[in-house]
């Protein structure tokens, strides 16, 4: 079946602009995660959604970052007033609720000029 999909695959933006990144999880997966992968920092957890529960936002690096998940499926990660240090690959993963194994999408490569 279809895996996790993300769009766009690449995004170049200017410092100070807002960006939206989209994730479409595997059908039937109730848990959805966002991670960030940057040189020197590796893969870092950002935010987690499980069903209708309040999201775990403990990994978001600043209040410029937010995410929502509509209808328990598609998720959007928004970064406001982008900074150069936001340049990274943003990865989305999904899993069956309660399962530890997560399946990743191809990522969105964000470059802030």
Partner 1 sequence: QKEVEQDPGPLSVPEGAIVSLNCTYSNSAFQYFMWYRQYSRKGPELLMYTYSSGNKEDGRFTAQVDKSSKYISLFIRDSQPSDSATYLCAMSQAGGGNKLTFGTGTQLKVEL
Residues that bind partner 1 (CB under 8 A): 4, 31, 33, 35, 42-45, 48, 50, 56, 59, 91, 93, 95, 99-107, 109
3-state secondary structure the chain: CCCCEEECCEEEECCCCCEEEEEECCCCCCEEEEEEEECCCEEEEEEEEECCCCCECCCCCCCCEEEEECCCCCEEEEECCCCHHHCEEEEEEEECCCCCCCEECCCEEEEEC
To partner 1, the closest distance from the beta carbon of 81 in angstroms equals 26
To partner 1, the closest distance from the beta carbon of 7 in angstroms equals 13
To partner 1, the closest distance from the beta carbon of 42 in angstroms equals 4
């Amino acid at each position: 079946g279809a895996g996790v999909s993300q769009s766009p695959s690449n995004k170049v933006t200017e410092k100070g602009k807002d960006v939206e990144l989209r994730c479409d999880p595997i059908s039937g997966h109730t848990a959805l995660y966002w991670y960030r992968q940057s040189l020197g920092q590796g893969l870092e957890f950002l935010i987690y959604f499980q069903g209708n529960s309040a999201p775990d936002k403990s990994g978001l690096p600043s209040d410029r970052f937010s995410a929502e998940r509509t209808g328990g499926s598609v998720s959007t990660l928004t970064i406001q007033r982008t900074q150069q240090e936001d340049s990274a690959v943003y990865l989305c993963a999904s899993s069956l609720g309660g399962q530890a194994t997560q399946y990743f999408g191809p990522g969105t490569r964000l470059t802030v000029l």
